[in-house]
Amino acid sequence: TSVFQGRSLLAEKDFTRGELEYLIDLSLHLKDLKKRGVPHHYLEGKNIALLFEKNSTRTRSAFTTAAIDLGAHPEFLGANDIQLGKKESVEDTAIVLGSMFDGIEFRGFSQKTVEELAEHSGVPVWNGLTDQWHPTQMIADFMTVKEAFGHLEDITLVYVGDGRNNMANSLLVTGAILGVNVRICAPKELSPTQEVVNYAEKFAKESGAQLMVTDDVAKGVKGANVLYTDVWVSMGEEDKFEERVNLLKPYQINMDMIKQTGNQNDNLILLHCLPAFHDTKTQYGKMVSEEFGIDEMEITDEAFRSKYARQFEEAENRMHSIKAIMAATLGNLFIPRV
């Protein structure tokens, strides 16, 4: 058995720097195996439940293809398919699913739900995004940073936008654990909660990461190696469009902001967990354009398509990293102590 065997991934703060680094390196290794066509059936004969209360393209696809590549069988259970929390308690659902499935992915609203699933199912549970955290995304993101720069030390990652959503929370805490300098650049109304800042500061003390929370764009983005943003309105907050557009307009990633980093060429990349609103081609894009008179939201189309953009590599890395997470916690891998 390894330090990972049988464990759940509910929040980044439950994992050490060495453990997260191991998962990032295992992701890179599994990507290499996939590219070379080398089979890696570490989950032969296992059954994986994929629970989704909220929509998903990447997380669902990544868990599905990762499970199949690992030799496991994935089963999708959407919000309208099962009783979770409506007609049946989370506890009862967890007991039943745990008796049939070897691992459970959960995406939804409450962090408490994913914790209860882990507590009562008796099998590893992986958090595929809650209102609070997005931990599987973190392994892909820092894997992408490591691919781009070859290392994580001395990297400054600046997240601009809604500073108190799941992505901001996860980036701040995970960067702090990994020794990556993280800045959250957000309007005061949307700056991270004290609870999240406290976690991050505690980890930064151990890792040496330098943290900054600021509403000043020029100061925040200066020296960024990674410029990161996310939607201004997360799933479940669709009534907040107007408020967010007004607050976040100055925090858009555009060519000007890229210049303000003072970095260029190999010293800068752009990331976005996706989905992104960068033009009016989507239903949301059209709606925002008509109602608020702006054609781009958190990132301009020009920046999104610039030479710095790595969001599609990042998206692909979701699969490799989710594979690593499932293989490490459920597979028969020999993993040295990390």
Scanning 70-78, 154-162, 267-275, 293-301 for contacts with ligand CP by CB under 6 A, the matching segment is 267-275
- 297 annotated as a binding-site residue: no
Residue type, position 53, single letter: E
Q: Strand ranges (DSSP E) for 202-284?
A: 211-214, 226-229, 269-272
CB nearer to ligand CP: pick between 56 and 300:
56
CB nearer to ligand CP: pick between 3 and 274:
274
CB nearer to ligand NVA: pick between 21 and 298:
298
- 318 annotated as a binding-site residue: yes
Q: Which does 57 bind (CB under 5 to 8 A by kind): ligand NVA, ligand CP, none?
A: ligand CP
Q: Which residues of 313-327 are buried (b: 16+ CB within 10 A; e: fewer)?
A: ebbbbbbbbbbbbbb
The residues binding ligand NVA (CB under 6 A) are: 129, 165-167, 230-231, 234-235, 273
Q: Is residue 318 among the annotated active site residues?
A: yes
Give residue for tokens 């609870």: 195
- 187 annotated as a binding-site residue: no
Strands, sheet with 47-52, edge to edge from the N-terminal-most edge strand: 73-78, 47-52, 103-107, 125-127
- 273 annotated as a binding-site residue: yes
CA distance 13 to 38: 33
Which position among 16, 57, 99, 246 is part of the footprint of ligand CP (CB under 6 A)? 57
Residue type, position 136, single letter: T
CB nearer to ligand NVA: pick between 43 and 235:
235
CB nearer to ligand CP: pick between 274 and 338:
274
CA distance 230 to 248: 11
CA distance 253 to 189: 19
Q: Which does 314 bind (CB under 5 to 8 A by kind): ligand NVA, ligand CP, none?
A: none
CB nearer to ligand CP: pick between 56 and 229:
56
Asked if 180 contacts 142 with a C-beta cutoff of 8 angstroms, the reply is: yes
Give 106's strand partners: 51, 127
| Residue 59 touching ligand CP (CB under 6 A) | yes
Q: Is residue 230 among the annotated active site residues?
A: yes
| Residue closest to 323 by CA, chosen among 80, 195, 144, 139 | 139
CA distance 316 to 17: 23
Q: Is residue 311 among the annotated active site residues?
A: no
| Residue 56 touching ligand CP (CB under 6 A) | yes
Q: Which does 166 bind (CB under 5 to 8 A by kind): ligand NVA, ligand CP, none?
A: ligand NVA
Which residue number has the CB closest to ligand NVA? Answer: 234
Give residue for tokens 């800045």: 183
Q: Euclidean distance between the first and final Cα of the chain, in Å?
A: 13
Q: Which of 7, 17, 60, 107 is catalytic?
A: 107
Q: Is 196 helix (H, G, I), strand (E, B) or coil?
A: helix
Q: Which of 132, 230, 272, 310 is catalytic?
A: 230
Which position among 93, 130, 137, 191 is part of the footprint of ligand CP (CB under 6 A)? 137
| Residue 120 touching ligand CP (CB under 6 A) | no
Q: Is residue 141 among the annotated active site residues?
A: no
Q: Is residue 134 among the annotated active site residues?
A: yes
CA distance 166 to 136: 12
Give least dist CB 202 to ligand CP, A: 26
Q: What is the CA radius of gyration of the chain?
A: 19
List active site positions: 107, 134, 137, 230, 273, 318
Binding site for ligand CP (CB under 6 A): 56-59, 129, 137, 273-275
Name the binding residues for carbamoyl phosphate: 56-59, 83, 107, 134-137, 273-274, 318
